[in-house]
Amino acid sequence: MEKWWQNAVVYQVYPRSYQDSNGDGIGDLPGITQRLAYIKKLGADIVWLSPIYQSPQVDNGYDISDYRAINPEFGNMADFEDLLNKAHSLGLKIMMDLVVNHTSDEHHWFQQSRQGKDNPYRDYYIWRDGQDGHAPNNWGASFTGSAWQLDQQTGQYYLHLFAPQQPDLNWENPNVRHSVYDMMNWWAAKGVDGFRMDVINYISKPAGLPDAKKAPGQLYGDAGATVANGPRIHEFLQEMNQNVMSQHKLVTVGEAPGVTIEEAKRYANLNGSELNMVFQFEHMGLDESDNPVLGRWTDRQATLKDLRANLTKWQTGLAGTAWNSLYWNNHDQPRVVSRFGNDATETDRVLSAKMLATMLHLQQGTPYIYEGEEIGMTNAHFASLDDYRDLDAINAYHVLVDDQHVVTSKQMLKYLGMRSRDNARTPMQWDASANAGFSTHTPWLKTNANYPTINVEQALADPNSIFYYYQKLIQLRHTLPVITNGTYALVAGNETDEQVYAYTRRDATTTLLVILNATQETLSRHYEVPADAQVIIGNYADDQGDTLRPYEAKVYQF
Ligand code: TEU
Ligand code: CA
C-alpha cells in the first residue's frame, strides 16, 4: 500500500539564508512565510526547515538550548504558527529538524547536569573520569579536536561528538528518551507534519565506549564510525515510533552517516516500525581523499562509474523492503552543479544541472531539493578564510594548515572553495538587486558573486530555466506512478560505460528509459526504443536519436 510521502517531494529551507524580512541580514520565519507561494509554484509537497529553535547558533541552530522556543533572530512562536497555517492553507506540509543526539551547552538540562555528580540531570549527558590526566578514550570530534571536554566544576569529562558546545545526550537514560518523545508530541500536537532527525543513528553508544580505529597520521580515532548504528539503536527508534510516530500522521527521515544497506532495511522498513527513510552518505563520500587525514578536503572528482554503481546499489538494495531518500544537496554539502556537474559556463551550468536533476528525480524514493538547487546555484568559491562562517571550515583550516602542516594555505582555500558547507549556505538568490534580494542589510554570510545573473527572478522569466525543469520533474512524479513504484534496472551493458548512465523504470503498463550523457562531449550510443516512444522530458529542444549532445538528458516513455 502506497504511503502519502512516497510520491512527495521535499524542499529544504535553511532559515538563516532564505529570506530576511526585517533588515538585520539574517533570514527569518516571516521571510520564509513570504516565500511559501514560490515553493508551492515549484510543486514541492513538504518543506523541511533546518533548526529554528532557541540556540546560541554555534552550529547555526544544530545546538539547541530550548526545544520549545523559537530562536529570537528568526521570530517568535506566533511567527511560526503563522508559517505553519499559511503552509497548510497552500497544501504544504512542514517537517521540523529534530536534533536530539546532543543539545547546546546552554540547554537547562546541561546547565543542571554540570552542577554536580548528584544533580538529577547529571545522567542526561555522558560524563566519565579521565584516564591518567587524559580524555576517557581516543575519540575525535567531528569539528576537530577530542570528543571529550574536561569540565572543571566536577573534574569529569563530557562527550561531544561535534563542537564542545554540543554535549551528547545519554540515551541510555529513559528520562532523556521520554523527555524527547514528550517534546516531539508537543510539536506534533501543534500540527507539524514530520521530523528530519539529525545524526539519529549516533544516539546509541557502544557499551564501555571503546577506543575507535585511528588511521596513520590521524590525531584522534574515528568516533563517528564507532557510534554509528549502535547496539540499542533499533530498540530506541521502535520505542520512539510507539510513543510518537504511531500517534500521528508524520513523515520521518533519519540522517544516518555510515548507514549500510542492511541497517537501512531496518531503519526505513516498509513495515513502519522505525522511520520512513534515511539519508545515506555513500554517494557523498565518493570524492573524498584516500588520505583519511584530509577526508573531504580534496579536489578529487567522483567518477560516473562510482556514482552509478552506488546509486544502483541503493535502488536495488532497498527495493521492496525499505524506502530510499534521494538527494544531491543539503546545508552540509557543496552545490551539486559545481561538484558533479559543470559551472564553468552558463550553457554547461544549465545543461549539467538539468542532467543531474534527471538522474536523481527519476529514481525510486523521496526526492529532496535544497534551496537554490532549483535555480542551479553554484559554489561560492570564496577566496579568503575571512569569508567563511562555518566552524567546520575554519577549524579544519587551522588544524590542517597551521597545526599539522599537511596542506598549504593555498591548497586548503581551494578545497574549502570546493567542499565547505558555506557553499550551500550563501543567501538565496532572489533577484539582481543589492544582496540578491535576500536582505536590505549586509547578509551574515556573503552572497555568491554570481547573483546578478543566477537568481529566481531570472529563472521565472525564462521558460527553459532549471526552475521549470525541476517543476516538470515534480509534476511527472505526481502523475506517473511508475516513478514512485516501478522497478529500477540498468540498461544491459551500461555498468562499464564511463560517459553515459542509462536506466529503466518499469511497471505492468509503462517503461521509462532514462539516458544521461554525463560529459561535455557529443557521444553516440544506441538504445532500443519502440517507434512510438515519447520523450517526456529532456534538456534539449529536439531528439537526435543515437547522438547525445553535451550533458544531454532525455527520458523516453513507452
Ligand atoms: O550533520 C552530521 C554530519 O554527518 C556532519 O558531521 C557532516 O558529516 C559534516 O557536516 C560534513 O559534511 C548534522 C547536521 O546536518 C550538521 O549541520 C550539524 O553540524 C551536525 O549534524 C551536528 O548537529
Ligand atoms: Ca531577519
Share of the chain above pLDDT 90, in %: 99
The answer for residues whose C-beta is within 8 angstroms of residue 433's C-beta and 6 or more apart is none
pTM listed for this prediction: 0.98
Could you give the angle at the alpha carbon of 280 between the alpha carbons of 257 and 162, nearest 5°?
Answer: 20
Q: Residue 335 — pLDDT band, cuts 50, 70, 90?
A: very high
Q: What is the mean pLDDT of residues 62-91?
A: 98
Name 524's bridge partners. Answer: 547
List the catalytic residue out of 151, 193, 222, 255.
255
Torsion angles phi and psi, residue 295, rounded to 5: 60, -120
Ligand nearest to the CA of 166: 1
255 counts as catalytic: yes
Tally of CB atoms within 10 A around 389: 17
Average pLDDT over residues 78-103: 98
Ligand 2 is an ion; its neighbours by CB within 5 Å are 20, 22, 24, 26, 28
Identify the band that residue 189 occupies on the pLDDT scale cut at 50, 70 and 90: very high
Assign 386 a pLDDT band (cuts: 50, 70, 90). very high
- For ligand 1, mutation pick of 48, 139, 199 (most atoms within 8 Å of CB): 199
What is the rounded average pLDDT of the residues 168-182?
Answer: 98
| Phi-psi map region of 428: left, alpha, beta (phi>0 left; psi -120 to 50 alpha) | beta
Residues near ligand 1 (Cβ within 6 A)? 59, 62, 99, 142, 162, 198-199, 255, 257, 331-332, 392, 421
User: Mutual orientation of helices 466-479 and 346-361 as an angle, nearest 10°?
Assistant: 10
- Tell the residue nearest (CA) to atom 2 of ligand 1: 199
pLDDT digits (tens, 9 = 90+) for 267-282: 999 999 999 999 999 9
Q: How many CA atoms lie within 13 A of 452 on its CB side?
A: 2
Nearest ligand, measured from the Cα of 59: 1
Mean predicted confidence (pLDDT) in 99-113: 98
| Distance (Å, whole) CA 368 – CA 46 | 9
129 conformational bin, left if phi > 0, alpha if psi -120 to 50, beta if neither? beta
Please provide the DSSP assignment of 2-60 as one string.
--GGGG--EEEE-HHHH--SSSSSS--HHHHHHTHHHHHHHT-SEEEEPP-EE---TTT
- Going by pLDDT thresholds of 50, 70 and 90, the confidence category of residue 488 is very high
In tens, the pLDDT along 410-429 reads 999 999 999 999 999 999 99
> Which of 50, 59, 142 most suits a substitution to test ligand 1, by most atoms within 8 Å of the C-beta?
142
* Separation of CA 332 and ligand 1 centre (Å): 6
Mean pLDDT of the chain: 98
Q: How far apart are CA 325 and CA 361, in angstroms?
A: 11
Mean local confidence (pLDDT), 423-438 = 98
pLDDT at 2 over 90: no
Whether residue 59 is predicted with pLDDT greater than 90 in this model: the reply is yes
pLDDT in tens, 25-54: 999 999 999 999 999 999 999 999 999 999
Mutate to test the pocket of ligand 1, among 48, 139, 159, 332 (most ligand atoms within 8 A of CB): 332
Q: Is the pLDDT confidence value at 384 over 80?
A: yes
Which of 198, 287, 332, 390 is labelled catalytic? 198
Q: How far apart are CA 245 and CA 490, in angstroms?
A: 36
Angstrom distance (rounded) from CA 439 to CA 435: 6
Q: Are 19 and 444 in contact (CB under 8 A)?
A: no
- Count CA within 13 A, CB hemisphere, residue 463: 2
In the chain, what are the helix, strand and coil shares in percent, each to the nearest 5?
35, 15, 50
Q: Is 151 one of the catalytic residues?
A: no
If pLDDT is split at 50, 70 and 90, which confidence band does 1 have? low
pLDDT surpasses 80 at 151: yes
What pLDDT, in 10s, does the model give residues 199-230? 999 999 999 999 999 999 899 999 999 999 99
- For ligand 1, atom 6, which residue shows the shortest CA distance? 142
pLDDT (tens digit per residue) in 362-372: 999 999 999 99
